[in-house]
Structure 1
Amino acid sequence: MTSLFDSYRLGDLTLPNRVVMAPMTRVRATAEGLATPSMATYYAQRATAGLIVTEGVQPNVVGQSNPGTPGLHTEEQVAAWRPVTAAVHANGGRVFAQLMHGGRVSHPDTTGLQPVGPSAVPAVGDVFTPTGPQPVPVPRALDLAEVPEQAQSYAQAARRAVDAGFDGVELHGANGYLISQFLSSNANLRTDRYGGSVPNRIRFAVEAVSATVEAVGGARTGIRLSPGANFWGVEETEVLELYTELLSELARLDLAYVHLEATTGDETLLALRHVWPGTLVMNPVYPMGAKVTGRSDADRWLELGADLISFGRAFIANPDLVERLRTDLPIAPFDEATYYQGGDAGYLTYPAYQQTA
């Protein structure tokens, strides 16, 4: 039986275990989108994970969703990331940058620009801004000629990520952000080649991934998906057909992995596992739900055919999560109040487990 602690070959990387640190927004970057020394310490503390996937990194200015998030669209941002990747590698780790274009989930107070999306349909909810939460505005629908430019932004950021020392990149195709908006049947009301039918709705995702593969290679490229989810008001029809066709197209590109969230039932997820011939990273618990992924969830999905298991919130308060899982040590609770508050409290202040007499 496959163990969570078996090694795994991922592209050109040998992972010492099958534990993946999932991407989690922590808003600790500077106002200029620069990574900080605290971020280097944070990721280095968690380098025993088989693979770290960073928080979402905006590929361009209009793609920034929240204030305090890092970017990969300037040379200064590339330089700021180098100490982070060097710290992870010095501690024996491997790290991919998650490339996250927020699309319509943004605000002019954050970027100075009107958000863009496949159609002029606003998201549902309030978005963080420098002055606090505000209703999400109506985005500007991308012109047909602009859509490939946004797809290329992932590839351009991927080149910068490799230059910054990352081992690869994960495109954020989940949770209601730009790629997810194009997959959607209610955020995407286009009548051109990017909207309507399933082949048209997957086109942006395939073009963004293809461009990234051309830029840095398939072995350095993954994508995260949330089939059937309803984040930020995004809805999807024909979920199984939509993701079956998407994964069939992506299978031609020899990607490092597909990262699925448990946002739909097991029957659909197992069908998609059957469709996808490559490495599958599984996030076994609904994101931001009441339940936090544990060892039993991981073991169950390894038995069901996943290759790697991603853990999110458990890594916040447990920098030594791999060892705690391996030796059945208690999992420390996290403080939700410090998720996004900035500073080192609730970021660098969680210790490794200390045995007491």
Structure 2
Amino acid sequence: MTTQTAPNLLANLFETYSLNDTISLKNRILMAPLTRCMADANLVPTDDMVAYYERRAEAGLIITEATIIRPDGQGYPNTPGIFTQAQIAGWRKVTDAVHAKDGKIFVQLWHTGRVSHPHFFGGGDVLAASAQKIEGSVPRMRELTYVTPKAATLEDIQGLVRDYAKAAENAIEAGFDGVEIHGANGYLIDTFLHHDSNRRTDEYGGTPANMSRFALEVVDAVAERIGKDRTGLRISPGAYFNMAADSRDRAVFDYFLPELESRDIAFLHIGIFDDSMQFDYLDGNASSYVRAHYGKTLVGVGSYSAQSASEAIATDKFDLIAIGRPFIANPDYVARVRDGVELVPYSDEMLTSLV
């Protein structure tokens, strides 16, 4: 149920929205997860990060930058973790500051999979669905080139599922309202969901049900630990980032999405940089495909303006909009949109500091 609050053409963005009986959002504008690489050397959130998120607490929901669940999940420098007590305490400062401003905040739980690098965790295996290497190097550390990952064993997979659940438990200890599991953009979970990266012949590969198994096990374990009402998921049905397209992926997501819908989680979030991107095997863009196969709360994202997001919500393309780079440039994004104030344009130079 929603309540109209803003008397203008963008009024639907400022309606309250109930994710479920536990969590109600004060508007439909979410802050998208935005990797900033600004944690300290121990991957603990800093005071600058506390202020950064606090300034954006007018969003209906903040989804934090991707946050690693354990050391071997790291693929970028200075990305925060949520697996030590110091990291939990650092995040507690963030959640307390956001809640003091009447905001809500989920942490995005992350394992980078085959784009992790042993440099960050003192050596050892890089884990993925299969031993399929990608070309390239670590962002911001171009001297580090990617290595061939190890295909996760059944024991590895069981440990990963446990560690996602433990990270979710840590998130609640840190004061988060919930978690978003990062299952998109070519990272660990996503490597199981696409044929380019999943060449397995065991119970985690080969068929849509098998390829969906790991993602569903993570969702189930997290939901059991903290509640399905506090569990969200981000997915990329169209392969486009650190992943080659394969038309057989359509069948995987045709199976996966109804399975997700039956679990009644808090929301499903598209992982896409630009939602105008077309995928022939999805018969169009990612959000339209997901909407046709998933009837519960859907978060759209990908180069939407306030106007185009409002129009998409009005025509039931999705229920909530996640805004990315404009939130970097405009800490007061929600107020500017509500009051009709021109936005500050985003530029890459803004990535060098937290404002």
Work out whether 1:85 is the aligned partner of 2:116: no
Map of 1:32 onto structure 2: 42
Q: Which residue of 1 aligns with 2:330?
A: 318
Q: Distance in 1 between matches of 2:243 and 2:144?
A: 16
The answer on whether the counterparts of 2:195 and 2:248 sit within 8 Å (CA) in structure 1 is: no
Distance (Å, rounded) in 2 between the aligned partners of 1:193 and 1:75? 35
User: What's 2:176 paired with?
Assistant: 166
Residues 295-345 of structure 1, C-alpha deviation per residue, up to 9 Å, x if partnerless? 222023203321100100010010111111122221102231342x4xxx3
Maintained 8 Å contact 2:207/2:252: no
Are residues 271 and 25 of structure 1, via their aligned partners in 2, closer, same or farther at CA, if it must alter by over 3 Å?
closer
3-state SS, counterpart of residue 322 of structure 1:
helix
Q: Compute the TM-score of the two structures, normalised by the length of structure 1.
A: 0.89
Shift in alpha-carbon separation, 1:135–1:235, aligned structure 2, 3 A: farther
Query: Matched residues in 1 for 2:263 and 2:174: separation?
Result: 24
Structure 1 vs Structure 2: percent identity of aligned residues?
Answer: 40
**Aligned runs of 1:134-283 on 2, under 5 Å?**
134-260=144-270, 261=272, 262=275, 264=278, 266=284, 269-283=287-301
Root-mean-square deviation (Å): 1.8
Please state how far the C-alpha of 1:201 moved relative to its aligned partner. Answer: 0.9
Provide the residue aligned with 2:129 in structure 1. 118
SS in structure 1 of the partner of residue 268 of structure 2: strand
Please report how far the alpha carbon of residue 47 of structure 1 lies from its aligned counterpart in structure 2 after TM superposition. 0.3
Give the count of matched residue pairs: 335
Question: Bigger shift: 205-214 or 255-264?
Answer: 255-264
Amino acid at match of 1:190: R
Q: Pick closer, same or farther for the CA change 1:82–1:88 going to 2, 3 Å.
A: same
1:8 paired residue among 14, 17, 20: 17
The answer to which of 246-255 and 55-64 deviates more is 246-255
Kindly state the Cα deviation for residue 62 of structure 1 after the two structures are TM-superposed: 0.8
How many Å apart are 1:145 and its aligned residue?
2.1
Query: How many angstroms does 1:231 deviate by?
Result: 0.8
On the 8 A contact 1:187/1:235 being kept in 2, the answer is: no
CA displacement at 1:132 relative to structure 2: 4.2
Instruction: Report the alpha carbon displacement of residue 226 of structure 1 after superposing the two structures with TM.
Output: 1.5
Q: Distance in 1 between matches of 2:175 and 2:73?
A: 22
Query: Are the aligned partners of 2:194 and 2:249 in contact in 1 as well (CA < 8 Å)?
Result: no
Give the CA deviation at 1:225: 1.0
**Partner Cα distance (2:81, 2:117) in 1:** 16
Q: How has the CA–CA distance of structure 1 residues 271 and 335 changed in structure 2, closer, same or farther, with 3 Å as cutoff?
A: closer
Q: CA deviation at 1:293?
A: 2.5
Deviations along 1:174-206, one digit per CA (max 9) or x if unpaired, are 100001111110111111010111111111110
Moved more, 62-71 or 145-154: 145-154
Preserved CA contact (<8 Å) 1:22 1:53: yes
Deviation for aligned residue 1:134: 2.4
CA–CA separation in structure 2 for the residues paired with 1:108 and 1:229: 25
Unaligned runs of 5+ in 1: 286-291, 349-357
AA matched with 2:220: S
1:337–1:201 distance in 2 versus 1, CA, 3 Å: same
Task: Report Cα offsets for 1:11-55 as digits up to 9, x if no partner.
Answer: 212211100000000011011110111111000000000000000
Q: Distance in 1 between matches of 2:121 and 2:169?
A: 23
Task: For residue 48 of structure 2, give the secondary structure of its aligned residue in structure 1.
Answer: helix
How far apart are the structure 1 equivalents of 2:246 and 2:45?
34
Q: Spell out structure 1 runs of 4+ moving beyond 6 A.
A: none
Secondary structure at 1:326's aligned position in 2?
A: helix
Structure 2: distance between partners of 1:241 and 1:5: 36
Letter in 2 for 1:83: K
Cα distance change on mapping 1:239 and 1:143 into 2, 3 Å: closer
Does 2:312 align with 1:301?
A: yes
> Is residue 82 of structure 2 the alignment partner of residue 72 of structure 1?
yes
Q: Is the 8 A contact 2:57 2:98 kept in 1?
A: yes
